[in-house]
Amino acid sequence: MPVFIHPEQTVARHAFLLQQKLRSKEERIIELETENALLHLKLAEWYGHICRKTEERVPTGQQEQQRLHPVLVNLLTEVHVLRQNLADLYSAYVGFSSELEQQSRGFLEQVNSVCCSIQDRSVDVRNLQAQVVDLEKSLHEEKERYKNEKQRRKVLHNTLIELRGNIRVHCRVRPLLHLDAGLCDTDVLPRSTLSEKVVHAVNEDTVVVECSRSGNPPMNKVFEFERVHGPNDSQKTVFEDVRPLLTSLLDG
């Protein structure tokens, strides 16, 4: 899972590290300056010592000077090295300060841009929240409207069912199947009469049944129903006719 780091925390961390580096540089400069001052004091002490020795031992001044000359040279060399180190450290301190100022300025610009972006996002979020509130209100209104319309439809549907009659008889005539010939005794009737069509759907409410027999005159019987479905009617057609009854049954 990714961890989100706030830009202000990153800037604060960089600033803290840079301040620590700057503080260490400043402490080093103070140490070098202290060493330089100590060396100057030591040089002054040696110089005073030489002067006193020279006054006390004028005849042996040249010998003493020759003896102290290497010490003075070493001290001057160390002072020169310390001055050079101090100059280098000061130049590094100046460069580091300028770099720290540039980085701080860049971080400040990034923080300002991020703050502006956050403000823009906040405005977008408030707009989205307002839209969500409006949609929830519209949804609630639509639910109430749907509830009222559903109740009204139920009342109208029940009224329509009562007007059409609570008890209705439907008739469906199925087509002949190739297995119908095998359901009867072929020794009694010829095969041509076994699959003969004897029920006919005349229209949507009338069925004609052929009752003719061998040796008797043809005779047809007519039956009427609330609805007649012929052999060509599909299951969907039949369901569409009985759907209102099922809906009224489910509505209670």
One-letter-per-residue 3-state SS of 185-249: CCCCCCHHHHCCCCEEECCCCEEEEECCCCCCCCCEEEEECCEEECCCCCHHHHHHHHHHHHHHH
Q: What is the pTM of this model?
A: 0.32
Q: How confident is the model at residue 194 (pLDDT cuts 50, 70, 90)?
A: very low
Q: Residue 215 — left, alpha, or beta (φ > 0 → left; ψ -120 to 50 → alpha)?
A: left
d(CA 44, CA 16): 42
Residue 139 has pLDDT above 80, yes or no: yes
Which residue, among 247, 250, 8, has the nearest Cα to 108 in the 3D structure?
8
What mean pLDDT do residues 140-160 have? 82
Query: Could you report the per-residue pLDDT of 55-74, keeping only the tens digit for each?
Result: 665 545 566 667 777 777 88
Residue 132 pLDDT: 92
pLDDT score at 20:
81
Query: Which of 53-67, 102-116, 148-162, 206-220 is predicted with the least confidence, judged by mean pLDDT?
Result: 53-67
Provide the pLDDT for residue 63: 62
pLDDT at 252 over 80: no
Distance of alpha carbon 127 from alpha carbon 133, whole angstroms: 10
Work out the percent of the chain whose per-residue pLDDT is above 90: 6
What is the pairing mode between strands 206-210 and 199-201? antiparallel
Binned at pLDDT 50, 70 and 90, residue 135 comes out as very high
- Other beta carbons less than 10 A from residue 86's beta carbon: 16
Q: Are 203 and 225 in contact (CB under 8 A)?
A: no
At residue 136, the pLDDT reads 92
Mean pLDDT, all residues of the chain? 77
DSSP string, 7-58: HHHHHHHHHHHHHHHHHHHHHHHHHHHHHHHHHHHHHHHHHHHHHHHHHH-S
Residues 6+ away with beta carbon under 8 Å from 196: none
* β-pair partners for 221: 209
Average pLDDT over residues 88-107: 82
